[in-house]
A and B are shown apart, each in its own frame.
Chain A
């Protein structure tokens, strides 16, 4: 197996190398169900997935071919669990994966994959590579081989309830301060409400105006809603780091808060992976169907607009919309933001391949949070500049705070003025009286 160039992998814990390898591979193999085994058996090594991955397209480095990022785990599956594993093992046709290889693959599985799933659209076999990368991350976590920046955020989220350390007290203070500053009613910790609203850590640290916008929209549309200081953080760094236990804990915080206030709907904020984690994975963490529905805020706004409960004044501008991968391509909520933009009267200039084929911003899946991946992330982002300029709209909107942070950071890096603004804030700024 060709190894990526040497780099120093991050390690957690004091396990022996053998324990790390056993843990990673056993975890992956135990996770293997019929569907994932079929995916692993199906690959014909055609390499087409490379053409859908911006890390490969932007660097030309073949190691960034999506399915190559799974190579140690594919080998382990064939040697340890596949239908002919006895041949592979007895004849050593597939060698036993080493901890050195797993360490080398840390870069490919975390720094060079945003879990955007674009590769799943080109694969002629229909393999959902992104879901396999997610499984491989579980194994890497079990081996204590997670990038330290991402691990630290996940650990903090597990310990405090928020990746940036926003405690319930800080959350309450923030909500009360914003309510006071903006003379707004921001319901908090109500015993009962139809809708439980959540937020992402970036809203407290970087985009408090999004919290204000959320309150304005919810109040305008007449919802019976609340925030809960027991379950407000929608980001799920447990999932991104590969720690299933932490992912479950983070999902359960929101599930318990929603059940406590008898909410029929939980609204996920403008955060891509939060939507993926809660809309599509939380029920599996919970172990039964959720007793409420889950909507991304763009879905809620589209629904409220169509029902006539959320009225806006027309906006005289053209705009492009950057689809957050986990909301559109991976989440199926592609039309909701377009419905909102249409209601606003925005002249939509779709980005090339806009919608489910949209290129990722390059910062999802935890990549934005891994400091050592910055240069690679900038290289991956570069194509977004070309896309946005080609679309030629006045403004650019998105509905993911992580995408916004990445556009800002990469924009500064490339001295490019365009920023990705919040769809939620656009609506809040243009509510009809």
Chain B
């Protein structure tokens, strides 16, 4: 079995299994903790509405903080949108997924995907430079921050190299690209990348608590 066959076969299966099991483990372990009950008299019972409102509203920059947070907001939005557009709207990716799941959807033109890939890489580089230079981010950052960054940019960068046939033999590049995705999948449940799940729970909890107290969700 060569590298590409491994990446397409057992590598992908193992990565998927570890990701799914890891995510389930992390979520279930937290959900099995004690639930807090609040016996104070609520100002409002519309807690679900408050939870959903905060989930939505916190996705947009607040004008009060925007002068200080605009770069993080802009770069964050850019690389998230770019990453998912490249992942889900690149025709070869759609064909790959169709081969496994049997479902497909329309993609974007290749030139647009390449452009989005380049923008994503630059946004991620911008995020890294900021993390390395900003005193607060330098202090807060740990291995997880840098390794998650590396594993996020790797599939995009190797994908761009693959599209340009740069660096090495095409099949080897494809294998490296697939393995970079699989590494990301394996790392996902153990890392900060799990914020893909926690962000909604965390916002929802705070939004519900705010609504209960009658605090505007901001």
Chain B residues numbered 12-46 whose CB sits less than 8 Å from any CB in chain A: 25-26, 29-31, 33-41, 43
| Residue from B34, B59, B65, B190 in contact with A84 in the complex, judged by beta carbons closer than 8 Å | B190
Q: How many residues of B contact A (CB 8 A)?
A: 56
Bound form: Cα–Cα A62–B207 in Å: 28
B206 at the interface (CB under 8 A from A): yes
- Kindly report which residue of chain B lies nearest to residue A30, judged by CB atoms: B34
B72 at the interface (CB under 8 A from A): yes
Chain A residues numbered 76-119 whose CB sits less than 8 Å from any CB in chain B: 82-84, 87
Bound form: Cα–Cα A84–B192 in Å: 13
| A120-128, A389-397, A400-408 - the one binding chain B | A120-128
Main SS class of interface, B: helix
Interface footprint category on A: 35 or more
Bound form: Cα–Cα A128–B198 in Å: 13
| B103-111, B130-138, B168-176, B180-188 - the one binding chain A | B130-138
B65 touches A52 (CB 8 A): yes
Interface centre among B34, B43, B54, B138 (most CB of A within 10 A): B34
If the complex has contacts A34-B31, A41-B194, A128-B206, are A51 and B69 also in contact, measured as CB distance less than 8 A?
Answer: yes
Q: Distance (Å) between the CB of A34 and the closest chain B CB? A: 5
- Kindly report which residue of chain B lies nearest to residue A63, judged by CB atoms: B139
Bound form: Cα–Cα A52–B205 in Å: 20
| Residue from A39, A56, A282 in contact with B40 in the complex, judged by beta carbons closer than 8 Å | A282
Q: Which residues of B contact A207 (CB under 8 A)?
A: none
| Residue from A47, A283, A332 in contact with B137 in the complex, judged by beta carbons closer than 8 Å | A47
Q: Distance (Å) between the CB of A100 and the closest chain B CB? A: 18
| Residue from B62, B136, B195, B218 in contact with A125 in the complex, judged by beta carbons closer than 8 Å | B195
A38 at the interface (CB under 8 A from B): yes
A50 at the interface (CB under 8 A from B): yes
Interface flags for A202-220 (1: CB within 8 Å of B; 0: not) read 0000000000000000000
B198 touches A51 (CB 8 A): no
Chain B residues numbered 93-137 whose CB sits less than 8 Å from any CB in chain A: 134-137
Q: Distance (Å) between the CB of A170 and the closest chain B CB? A: 31
A16 at the interface (CB under 8 A from B): no
* A-B CB contact pairs (8 Å), 29 listed: A33-B33, A34-B33, A34-B35, A38-B201, A39-B205, A45-B140, A47-B136, A60-B135, A65-B139, A68-B140, A120-B206, A121-B218, A124-B59, A125-B195, A125-B199, A126-B203, A280-B213, A283-B39, A284-B39, A284-B40, A288-B39, A289-B39, A290-B39, A294-B41, A330-B213, A332-B210, A332-B215, A334-B215, A356-B218
Q: Which residues of B contact A (CB under 8 A)?
A: 25-26, 29-31, 33-41, 43, 54-55, 58-59, 62, 64-65, 68-69, 72, 76, 134-142, 145, 190, 192, 194-195, 198-199, 201-207, 209-210, 213-216, 218
Other A-B contacts than A48-B68, A128-B205, 20 sampled, CB-CB below 8 A, are A32-B34, A33-B33, A35-B36, A37-B30, A44-B195, A45-B137, A45-B140, A45-B142, A45-B145, A60-B135, A84-B190, A122-B65, A125-B202, A126-B202, A127-B206, A283-B38, A284-B37, A288-B39, A331-B215, A357-B64
